[in-house]
A and B are shown apart, each in its own frame.
Chain A
Amino acid sequence: MRAPGSDKGVAAGDVLLAVDNVSLNFGGVKAITDVSFDIRKGEIRAIIGPNGAGKTSMLNVINGFYHPQQGRITYRGETRQKMRPYVAASQGISRTFQNVALFKGMSTLDNIMAGRTLKMRGSFFWQLFRHGPAMREEIEHRKVVEEIIDFLEIQAIRKTPVGKLPYGLQKRVELGRALAMEPDLLLLDEPMAGMNLEEKEDMSRFIIDVNNQYGTTIALIEHDIGVVMDLSDRIVVLEYGRKIADGTPDQVKSDQTVIDAYLGVPH
């Protein structure tokens, strides 16, 4: 995989994505109220907060699944009122989901290959024959996918339908699918829920490696405070849809409002 972003005029440390004064409500429910924060190029940015704080909704706003009533989103210097899912995807935002959203009927390989759809250009005509250009393209992308599979150590389940995999592996496949899009910005929604320690460690390593090796910017939602504190560069804390804190792990850890609202005990 290439290092994304390098050719797009965004240097490390620059703001890759900024959310300004975003508000989102569903009927009476205020999911997000006037939240602003930014994500810098190359960092791991965590979003934490109690259940129902609006974290998932925030990710949904960022990649265009929810459309905020108010506020603006600036991505790679371009400011919009809202994202469109297709635009977000084609401009390098990919994600994983809180409740695994894999394509259940397909194998691991196909799931990750599906992540490459945006990169595939082959004509419909050659697809019919599965020869010539279509086959060449298929093999080329297969190589990339195999790289990801090796990276995530899921070789053994390559051909297994994902619906039958245990939860932890499904999460891993989902990460693989997101990586296949070669994202600039990777949104991870509770990637470690339902995993035991060992698997969390594996997952952490993957996240760090992705961040280090490919320079991918990561936004991470996670309830395991240990993981969040260890991995992230900066943390936003939401509560009832509002931002209550924003800063480095150390700052957030000792912030009394955060302790009251979320952590419960100092970590």
Chain B
Amino acid sequence: MFYREAGQYKTSYAADMAVFPIRQDRIGLAVILFTAFVLIPAFGNQFFLSSVMIPTLVFALAAIGLNILTGYTGLISLGTAAFMGVGAYACYKLTTWFPGVNIIVWIIASGFVSAFVGAMFGLPSLRIKGFYLVVATLAAQFFLQWCFGRIPWLVNYNTSGAIEAPERFLFGIPITGANATPESRYLVVLGVVALMTWFASNLVHGRVGRAWMAVRDMDIAAELMGIRLLTTKLLAFAVSSFYCGVSGALMVFLWYGSAEPEVFVINQSFLILFMVIIGGLGSLVGSFMGAALIYMLPIVLRLLPAALGVPIAAATVEHLQFIIVGVLIIVFLIAEPHGLARLWQTGKQKLRIWPFPY
């Protein structure tokens, strides 16, 4: 009833090929953007901005990166965190070498470093397939993490072995370091994430995206149609790592403020993989939904007892939270194995035919 495209005719291919061909969707997007860019920074409190929104966005970006690799190209990776680490350390090196250049430039540049490293570890993908390919990404995960800890050059020989985000400015406002307000950090992260999401959306809807999906769905057929497997896969690795790298740089510079190698452990890789799966493989919206669910759910669960005034120990909350998150994951999967994005689509489908059941 409310969600109908009836009466909306496309008069050109360009209009038909738009990412959001339906008016309601475009309105929805505008509302979301307005909320994200205006309402949230205006009304969100500090905790919400810096411990909920920024992390969720950072993870969403990494999830998009992984989704490009796993969801769109069908290559499972467990090295996401390490590629994020590459981005973070690259950004640190770059900005300490050339403090004069704007940090945003370096954040993007560090994505390229990560893309290069990612492509290197993507090389075996021509020969190794399926779950077996996981080993290449695991090698990346552990090897890179070891490098972060073992190469003092990477941390400018800091005795603490950690990297600290120095203070950097955008338009004269500090956006990294301790003096950066949550609002400014949030807006920068949001801007970068929004822009990169737009790029990703363009990519996956065009030639490149189709080649990726073709390789995912039936690599042999794709090859016989003249899609070069190695280039396509490497491109996926590179683009994916680019996103992860930028996300890692954002994570350290605009969220953590400092980082040790332990930040980029395999558990984080898993976490992002789960965001992608729960959100929906091969769906950009799903990446956001997955990141939001997996990251926010524990926070909500943790805050809930206190908010409700239930006297319950922090550790017990933690235990219960583990159980509840686990159960919810299973429940969601059973409800819709293709992820939240699909759940959302089915919901829209129902709206369209409402009030009839089918």
* Interface positions of A (Cβ within 8 A of B): 63-65, 85-86, 88-90, 94-95, 97, 101-106, 110, 113-115, 117-118, 120, 122, 124, 127-130, 134-135, 137-139, 142-143, 146, 177, 181
Contacts and interface: CB of A to CB of B under 8 A. Distances in A.
B206 A134 contact: yes
Interface in B285-299: none
Contacts of B334: none
B222 interface: yes
Nearest to A187: B224
Nearest to B216: A105
Nearest to B223: A85
Given A122-B207, A128-B202, A134-B206, A105 B225 contact: no
Main secondary structure of the interface of B (DSSP, over half): helix
Given A102-B218, A117-B211, A139-B13, A86 B223 contact: yes
Chain B interface category by residue count:
20 to 34
Nearest to A94: B225
9 contacts: A85-B223, A97-B221, A102-B221, A114-B225, A117-B211, A117-B226, A129-B202, A138-B206, A139-B14
Interface of B: 13-14, 17, 199, 202-203, 205-208, 210-211, 213-214, 216-218, 220-228, 235, 282
Given A101-B220, A139-B14, A115 B213 contact: no
Contacts of B220: 65, 101
Given A89-B225, A139-B14, A127 B206 contact: yes
Given A101-B218, A134-B206, A139-B17, A110 B225 contact: no
Given A63-B224, A143-B13, A181-B225, A128 B213 contact: no
A137 to B, nearest CB: 8
Nearest to B74: A105
Given A85-B224, A138-B17, A127 B203 contact: yes
A186 to B, nearest CB: 12
Nearest to B211: A117
Given A104-B217, A135-B14, A142-B17, A114 B202 contact: no
A105 B221 contact: no
B13 A142 contact: yes
Contacts of A101: 218, 220-221
A95 B227 CA distance: 14
B254 to A, nearest CB: 23
In the A-B complex, list the 3 residue pairs whose CB atoms are closest, starting with the nearest.
A89-B226, A103-B217, A130-B202
Contact of B225 (A117, A120, A122, A143): A117
